[in-house]
Amino acid sequence: MPPAPDAPLLETPRLRLHPLAAGGEARLQAVFRAAPDAFPGSGGRGAGAEPDAAERELHQCAATPGREVAVLTLRGGGEDVGAIGWWSGHPGPGLALLGTLIVAPGHRGRGLAREALDALSAWLAEAGAQALRTGVERRRLGAYQALRALGFVELSIAEHTRLGLAGAGMALMEKRLRAG
């Protein structure tokens, strides 16, 4: 029997990770609005998400096998406080791409991003992923430092080149995963 439509994919001591599909746009857009700094504009300031960002994200997830996004919901109260998005099997076998990791400003500094990422990493590893990759603009120093604190290491410029990326303004980062 398939899980209920609103059943969480993963649960941690403080969070439920609820995958979203069509119909979840308002929930995801609310998370995007709560964290405008997750969407940098010119000058490094948070520009906020476009009004249809959640709709476009969920459309891309539906059209792309292995691509998913989930809201991070507090277990004690049910408030959506963030989002995490990934793409299994991309950019290649044994890899997954982390595309989104957002925690609303009022809930930062409590380890929620780490808790969500650890749960997702363990789940991906059990499914056969050996590494989780992501990229961040080098000028976004806070995001770069947060990824380092979460266990990501920067890959060499050779890996950028292999993937066809210019590399100068982007840090390609990876976190090795272990099953079990």
Q: What is the pLDDT of residue 66?
A: 95
Q: What is the pLDDT of residue 44?
A: 47
pTM above 0.85, yes or no: yes
Q: What is the CA radius of gyration of the chain?
A: 16
Distance, in Å, from the CA atom of 86 to the CA atom of 129, rounded to the nearest integer, reads 12
Distance, in Å, from the CA atom of 117 to the CA atom of 112, rounded to the nearest integer, reads 8
Distance, in Å, from the CA atom of 61 to the CA atom of 164, rounded to the nearest integer, reads 23
Q: What is the pLDDT of residue 178?
A: 87
Distance, in Å, from the CA atom of 149 to the CA atom of 2, rounded to the nearest integer, reads 36
Q: What share of the chain is helix, strand, coil (3-state, %, to 5)?
A: 35, 30, 40
Question: pLDDT, tens digit, for every residue of 91-118?
Answer: 899 999 999 999 999 999 999 999 999 9
Per-residue pLDDT of the chain (180 residues; tens, 9 = 90+): 334 556 778 999 999 999 999 999 999 999 999 999 888 754 445 578 898 999 999 999 999 999 999 999 999 899 999 999 999 999 899 999 999 999 999 999 999 999 999 999 999 999 999 999 998 887 787 888 999 999 999 987 666 556 555 555 778 899 999 876
**Beta-strand runs (E) in the chain:** 10-11, 15-19, 67-74, 80-88, 95-103, 131-137, 153-154, 170-176
Q: What is the pLDDT of residue 143?
A: 86
Q: How many CA atoms lie within 13 A of 146 on its CB side?
A: 21
* Residue (of 35, 29, 58) closest to 112 by Cα position: 35
24: DSSP letter: -
